[in-house]
Amino acid sequence: MPHLHPEQLFLLQTLILVGIPYFIWENKFVKKYIPLVVVQIILGLLLGPSVLEKISPEYFEFLFPKSSIPLLQGLAFMALTLFGFMTGLHLDFEQLKGKGNGFAITSLSSVVTPLIICSIFGFSLFYYYPNFVGPKAGLISYSLSIGIVGAVTALPVLSAILKEMKFIERRLGKLCLGMATVNDGFLWILIAIDLTIAQAASGGYTEVLKIIGYSALYFAVMIKIIAPIFRNLIHKGILQHDPCHKTMVVVIVYICISALTTDFIGIHYLLGAFTAGAMIPKELSHGIMVKLERAVEVVLLPFFFMLTGLKTNFSVSDNEVWMLFIWAVIFSTIGKVLGVAIPAYFTLYNHKEKRKAIEKSLVLGSFMQSQGLMEVVVLNILLQAEILTPISFAALLLMAIFKTAMTKPSVLLIHRIFGRKEYTGEVKQINNEIIEM
């Protein structure tokens, strides 16, 4: 193999990681059923030690020598930090107002039901499969981690899917986004609790009390001081809806300070990046999102997926990986679909049109299956915290890919099933009915 200078190698890596997944996704069939993030994650796995290194070690060493990893890690770290920030920007608690008790019940159930079911599953794994349990995981932290992994819904990826399927402005789409907002809020709280519990097992309760105290102070400062400062600066016209270069520099500095603070506290830098985004008023968040979103999603995140692929090493013949994958998919799907569809059917829809109520409830549950990048982020946090082992990380990563890839096909399948008798069966008519929902 020829030797490449570092600059040449980096450009080749960028060409592969950014270009290949996007042009694969541009295929009409792929684009119709699979989100871009799924293609990017799969490419990261294929180029990692699980596939490429086993098939052709010389090509793997040529493309990703150890000397190139620090640069990839830096770009992946920046991508992850900015993604956490953008996830916070996506949160819009205004859209939760006035939706009624049915929405509140269904949203809560969409988190709690899969959390409980998958935590029980994690409880059994802790005792019967110790090789799935990380060195710093206790019974509670590991069970809660599996519960969190099963309960994740990715707000950014779900939003993209809803846009592609023309649901974004419909009532069902708005319900999905509202529930995903609740899911994301709970998710970060649960991760903070989980990491604190893991700290208790390794650092003692004195360390935990410090984390709780500093965390309370941090959130109080963000809510009572930082958020009002942003609102005041917007009101005075110092910060514009279309942010200039100076504003973007201030935002990046703000993200770094917030992420550093939570990392020093011990509740992970991503929680700080997420909270930083959540505190920015919506009048400013859209402009910032426009400036960052494309560059992060298309250019930076592929490096994070590549690094995730390099962390993932399993054999196709490893039965334990596939066992955990299958059971995780089953329990997570049951928890999420039932946790959404049942309360939605009884609280959100008119029972006089029973067939449509069932269909819409199942579609709602299917959309909430989307895990995407958020699941990959959570798994990386848990692996870094040594709560998960590499083998459980690999299995649960495959679950995230599978469930996200199946979101669109499952929604289309539900409409096909319910459309056979009610409609003529023509694809065009079924698609029109989807849009009307």
- Tell me what pLDDT residue 432 has: 45
CA 363 distance to own-chain centroid: 20
Query: What is d(CA 339, CA 110) in angstroms, rounded to the nearest whole number?
Result: 5
Secondary structure class of 286 (helix, strand, coil): helix
- 2: phi > 0 → left, psi -120 to 50 → alpha, else beta; which? beta
- Domain of 115, CATH number, reads 1.20.1530.20
Evaluate whether residue 27 is within a structural domain. no
Eight-class DSSP state of 353? G
Query: What is d(CA 148, CA 191) in angstroms, rounded to the nearest whole number?
Result: 8
Residue 388, phi then psi, degrees to nearest 5: -105, 155
Q: Which residue has the tokens 């269904």?
A: 106
Number of domains within the chain: 1
Angle between helices 301-311 and 69-90 (to 10 degrees): 120
Evaluate whether residue 199 is within a structural domain. no
Secondary structure class of 204 (helix, strand, coil): coil
Evaluate whether residue 346 is within a structural domain. yes
Question: Of all helices (H) and strands (E), which one includes residue 322?
Answer: helix 319-347
Of the candidates 397, 413, 422, the residue with the CA atom closest to the CA atom of residue 365: 413
Query: What is d(CA 96, CA 104) in angstroms, rounded to the nearest whole number?
Result: 9
Evaluate whether residue 355 is within a structural domain. yes
- Enumerate the β-bridge partners of residue 388: 133
Structure tokens at 394: 């690999």
The vertex-44 CA angle with 38 and 49, nearest 5°, equals: 140
Evaluate whether residue 19 is within a structural domain. no
Contact 408, 34 (CB under 8 A): yes
Evaluate whether residue 250 is within a structural domain. no
Evaluate whether residue 105 is within a structural domain. yes
Neighbours of 127 (CB within 10 A): 9
Query: What is d(CA 430, CA 401) in angstroms, rounded to the nearest whole number?
Result: 27
- Tell me what pLDDT residue 436 has: 44
Structural domain boundaries, residue 110: 77-135+150-189+289-436
- Which residues does the chain have with pLDDT short of 70? 1, 92-99, 201-204, 420-437
State the Rg of the chain over Cα.
22
Structure tokens at 267: 């509740």
Of the candidates 13, 3, 12, the residue with the CA atom closest to the CA atom of residue 309: 13
Evaluate whether residue 432 is within a structural domain. yes
Structure tokens at 171: 């009532």
Secondary structure class of 165 (helix, strand, coil): coil
- 204: phi > 0 → left, psi -120 to 50 → alpha, else beta; which? left
Q: What is the pLDDT of residues 371-397, one digit of tens each?
A: 877 888 899 999 988 999 999 999 999
- From residue 56, give the alpha-carbon distance in Å to each of 11, 49, 362, 364, 382: 21, 10, 44, 43, 30
